Amino acid sequence: MGREFLNVFSEWAEEYDAYVQGKDQQYKEVFADYDRILEEIVEKSSDNVMEFGIGTGNLTYKLLNAEKNVFAVEPSSQMRELANKKLPEHFMVYDGDLQQYPTPPHKIDTIVSSYVFHHLTDEEKSIVLKQYNQLLTFGGKVIFADTMFISEAAYKLMIEEAMNMGYAELVEDLNREHYPLLPVVYEALKQAGFSDLSFRQMNKFVWIFEGTKMSY
C-alpha cells in the first residue's frame, strides 16, 4: 500500500500546478486558498523540517524562502523532476514516501505534508504517526494539511454533492482514496504520543492538524 496511487500523480504531474490554481472546476474547492494553506504550515514550522510528498515543490519553495532547513521526500520521479526545476539548483529531493524514506541528515523538529496523508489507510496512518513521534525532537510537531471529514455522514454528503454536480472525477477520487475522519486522526495522534492536538478547517475539504511531541 502507500504508493498505490502513484500512477495518478505521474500522469497528473505536468498539469498539477494549473489544478492548484483552480483550472479544473471539480477541484476548485479542494484547492481553494491553496497558498494560504501552505503559508499557514510554514508559519507553524520550526527550523528543521521534513516534508513528505512535495509534488511540484510549492510548499518546499515557501519553506526554503522562510529559511527553513528542509529534507524533502517525493515518490514520483515525474513530480521530483518538476520540483527540481522550481527549487534551488543544488537542493536534493529524495525518493521516498510516507512509510519508507531515507534517514534525514539532520535533526527534525517539524514534519509537514499537504494533500498527501490520505494515501495511507487508517491503519497505516496510525503506524507512521508512531514512527514520526520517534523521529521528532522533544517539542517537535507534525503539521499536516489534507482533505478530512468530521463524520462518515459528512463524507457521504460530500460524495452525494459531487455526484449531483456531475463531478465524476472527484466522486471517483473521494471513493478511491483514504480520506480520514477527524476523530480517527485525533485518536491516532494521541496513541502515537502527540499532545496539544489542534484541527483547523481551511476550506470546504481541507483541514490542518497539528500535534506536539511532549514525551519520549
Asked if 110 touches ligand SAM (CB under 6 A), the answer is no
How many residues lie near ligand SAM (CB under 6 A)? 22
Using alpha carbons only, give the angle 134, 210, 137 rounded to the nearest 5 degrees: 30
From the CB of 91, what's the least distance to ligand SAM, in Å? 16
Please report, as residue ranges, which positions from 77 to 106 form the binding site for ligand SAM (by CB under 6 A).
Answer: 79, 97-98
From the CB of 151, what's the least distance to ligand SAM, in Å? 23
Using alpha carbons only, give the angle 172, 173, 177 rounded to the nearest 5 degrees: 120
Asked if 119 touches ligand SAM (CB under 6 A), the answer is yes
Asked if 49 touches ligand SAM (CB under 6 A), the answer is no
d(CA 167, CA 54): 26
Of 125 and 213, nearer to ligand SAM (C-beta) is: 125
**Strand order across the beta sheet in which 69-73 lies:** 93-94, 69-73, 48-52, 108-114, 136-147, 206-213, 194-201
Asked if 52 touches ligand SAM (CB under 6 A), the answer is yes
Binding ligand SAM by CB under 6 A: which of 49, 64, 93, 116? 116
- Secondary structure letter of residue 28 according to DSSP: T
Point out which span in 22-30, 55-63, 185-193, 207-215 binds ligand SAM (CB under 6 A). 55-63
d(CA 86, CA 174): 29
Asked if 211 touches ligand SAM (CB under 6 A), the answer is no
Q: Which residues pair with 93 in a beta bridge?
A: 72
Angle (deg, nearest 10), helices 34-44 and 58-65 = 40
Q: Are strands 194-201 and 206-213 parallel, antiparallel or unpaired?
A: antiparallel
From the CB of 11, what's the least distance to ligand SAM, in Å? 11
Residues that bind ligand SAM (CB under 6 A): 2-3, 5-6, 9, 20, 52-55, 58-59, 74-76, 79, 97-98, 114-116, 119
